[in-house]
Copies of this chain bind each other. A is one copy, B any other.
Amino acid sequence: MGAVLVQRDGPATRLVIDRPERDNSLTAADVRELADRLETAAADPATRVVVLAGAGGTLCTGMDLAEVAGGADAGGGSGFFDLLRRITEIDVTVVAALDGRAVGGGVGLAAACDLVVATERSAFSLPEALWGLLPCNILPFLIRRTGFQRAYAMTLSTATMTAAEARTAGLVDELDTAQGRHLRRLVGRLAKVDRATVGEAKAYCATLSPIGADTREHASATFARLLRTPAVHTRIDNYVRHQRMPWEQ
């Protein structure tokens, strides 16, 4: 425990991913903790908005590779998919606030949030393909946000998208100043909508663009299969033991 800080800030509860020594990457336990913190925050009727952020500005850089190398199924299980889906369903508005990077699973967290606010220095990337992996759990949520092509292009090109590009693509809803002025104004506005109405909005909209059980199963199975391939195993091992990136091998 302790990977997620909880801060009350007026009508908002801030959940801050706080593993700066590991670039805010998440272990399976961290994912469970984040899911628990979200439920607790939403259970308090005084919480009108949940803000999801990362210590130092970077939201999250995906799964903890050391854990994956050790054989745990951090990214392979469906816990991460379930967290993303829960964010889209829970009856409180969840806003991602970035002032730094979102990488891999971090892009998934942002994509699943109801709204994304990011400063100009924020950046988004999906490097999974360089490891021989794919952002299986992330893509259904990212495609719902950006449409097919932008999500597909990020996957294949593994290129970094600037905050301005992400706004055009629909991955960022609002660009913010370094002082977070737009985020404060947005939280004030969101707090005027009843929690019950937020729940109704999420439930109704989900019927218009559903992410079903098939999608979850296929995502989990594909990711687990790729994770077991020798090429992927070797690359993760080389990184964890020798800090060698896959494109240096």
Contacts and interface: CB of A to CB of B under 8 A. Distances in A.
Contact of A129 (B133, B139, B201): B201
Nearest to A193: B129
A147 B171 CA distance: 12
A120 B231 CA distance: 40
| Contact size range, A | 35 or more
Contacts of A204: 134, 136, 139, 218, 222
B200 A156 contact: no
Given A139-B208, A144-B149, A148-B208, A159 B218 contact: no
Given A115-B157, A144-B149, A215-B208, A134 B226 contact: no
A73 interface: no
A78 interface: no
Contact of A197 (B132, B159, B190): B132
B143 A209 contact: yes
B173 A208 contact: no
Given A132-B196, A157-B186, A145 B148 contact: yes
A218 B203 CA distance: 12
Contact of A115 (B145, B146, B156): B156
B134 A200 contact: yes
Contacts of A246: 192
A205 B168 contact: no
Interface of A: 93, 114-115, 129-130, 132-134, 136, 139-140, 143-153, 155-159, 168-170, 173, 186, 189-190, 192-194, 196-198, 200-201, 204-205, 207-209, 215, 218, 222, 226, 231, 246-247
